[in-house]
Amino acid sequence: MTMQQLLNIELPVIQAPMAGVQGSDLAIAVSNAGGLGSLPCAMLSPDALRAELEKIRRGTDRPFNVNFFCHTPPEPDPQADADWQALLRPYYTELAIDPSTIASGAGRTPFNAEALEVLKEFEPAVVSFHFGLPAPELLDGVRSWGAKILSSATTLEEALWLQSQGVDGVIAQGLEAGGHRGIFLTRDMTTQMGTFALTRQLVAALNLPVIAAGGIADAAGVQAAMALGAAGVQVGTAYLLCPEASTSAIHREVLASEAARHTALTNLFSGGPARGVVNRLMRELGPVNALSPAFPLATAAIAPLRAAAEAQGSGDFSPLWAGQNTRGCKPVAAAQLTRELASALD
């Protein structure tokens, strides 16, 4: 089955959900252009989720995707928090931040019954997950209105597990991809592989549409993914400079600069491995630091550093999420980019 048939869309292009850098505006623009727009919901309260879904309902009558994280929240660990803050202390001093004012808390909530209740009011056509799947009763709730369910896999084992749970399609998230890795069955980063290798193996092993993601940023990349047997693509980084995205001015500036040629996986900003442009914090602490607490608990201690630095026009402490291929980042309307991405297909 083609992805267009599965998702009832014209073009085999999913705009990747990207928490923190976009909301309903980007999703509406892409869905109206014939792709599948996505709303990232990992950082939305139930009220904010409802408000965004109302905007999408007013903005398009086409299918769209809502995306949730479904990690298991870690137990609070005061010692780990204290060790993490101790490592960051020189930066608090430099930026005149009083560490006793640092809020605790996760910042990202996994999919839950409250979010499901909001979704039931809107019955979105597609729901995608990152970090596996929610509990079976929650997943059944999503299935109740016939939503198609997608989730990211970073290994063949994850893809086979998702297939066994009855998902409708699997997103093959290669190592090139920007943002958080959807890895969920292991913590062993040596298992992670590039989009070419992963897509090909998933296509061979699954009876489901495989959606290639990671490093795809132009029409030739889309064509190549389809030649590998992908039913469609999920593209994130290339949309970051679109006017409909809410990417910060600092993030946009970095993406348009030569600095964007160097990305790395880092656990400094949330605790989980994610790809972003290498910046000062990543250089000085190492992109992967053993003292960073479990996902998503690293975020709270970084937040005031990020805010203070950004107020001075600096991205030294910001997560500058981006994939390895930032060549496709262009300040063009999302509809134009969506059509361009699909332009080499018959």
Q: Note whether 18 binds ligand FMN by CB under 6 A.
A: yes
| Nearest by Cα to 108 from 72, 66, 64 | 72
For residue 96, count other CB atoms closer than 10 A to its CB. Answer: 7
CB of 51 to ligand FMN, least distance (A): 18
Residue 234 touches ligand FMN, criterion: CB under 6 A:
yes
Length of the chain measured in residues: 346
Q: Which is nearer to ligand FMN, 40 or 304 (CB)?
A: 40
Among residues 3, 28, 177, 255, which is the contact residue for ligand FMN, using CB under 6 A?
A: 177
What is the three-state SS of the chain? CCHHHHHCCCCCEEECCCCCCCCHHHHHHHHHCCCEEEEECCCCCHHHHHHHHHHHHHHCCCCEEEEEECCCCCCCCHHHHHHHHHHHHHHHHHCCCCHHHCCCCCCCCCCCHHHHHHHHHHCCCEEEEECCCCCHHHHHHHHCCCCEEEEEECCHHHHHHHHHCCCCEEEEECCCCCEECCCCCCCCHHHCCCHHHHHHHHHHHCCCCEEEECCCCCHHHHHHHHHCCCCEEEECHHHCCCCCCCCCHHHHHHHCCHHHHCEEEECCCCCCCEEEECCHHHHHHCCCCCCCCCCCCCHHHHHHHHHHHHHCCCCCCCCCECCCCCCCCCCCCHHHHHHHHCCCCC
Among 9, 19, 183, 212, binds ligand FMN (CB under 6 A): 19
Report which of 299, 333, 322 is spatially closest to residue 71, judged by C-alpha positions: 299
Q: Nearer to ligand FMN by C-beta: 130 or 306?
A: 130
Q: Is 178 in the site for ligand FMN (CB under 6 A)?
A: yes
In this complex, which beta carbon is closest to ligand FMN, that of residue 270 or of residue 292? 270
Q: Which is nearer to ligand FMN, 70 or 118 (CB)?
A: 70
Closest to ligand FMN by CB, 95 or 320 = 320
Who's near 278: CB < 8 A, 6+ residues apart?
A: 259, 262, 263, 264, 287
Q: Is residue 272 near ligand FMN by the rule CB under 6 A?
A: no
Return the residue nearest ligand FMN (CB atom).
236
341 binds ligand FMN (CB under 6 A): no
Site for ligand FMN in 93-132 (CB under 6 A): 130
321 contacts ligand FMN (rule: CB under 6 A): yes
**315 in contact with ligand FMN (CB under 6 A):** no
Quick check: 23 binds ligand FMN (CB under 6 A)?
Answer: no
User: Using CB under 6 A, which residues numbered 191 to 210 contact ligand FMN?
Assistant: none
Task: Kindly state the number of chain residues that form the binding site for ligand FMN, as judged by CB under 6 A.
Answer: 28
Q: Does 37 bind ligand FMN (CB under 6 A)?
A: no
Q: How far is the CB of 148 from ligand FMN (least distance, A)?
A: 15
Instruction: Kindly identify the residues of this chain, within the stretch 136-175, that bind ligand FMN according to CB under 6 A.
Output: 152, 173
Binding to ligand FMN by CB under 6 A, coded x per residue (else -) over 62-81, reads: -----x--------------
Q: Does 17 contact ligand FMN by CB under 6 A? A: yes
176 binds ligand FMN (CB under 6 A): yes
Contacts with ligand FMN, residue ranges (CB under 6 A): 16-19, 21, 40, 42, 67, 130, 152, 173, 176-180, 213-216, 234-237, 321-323, 325
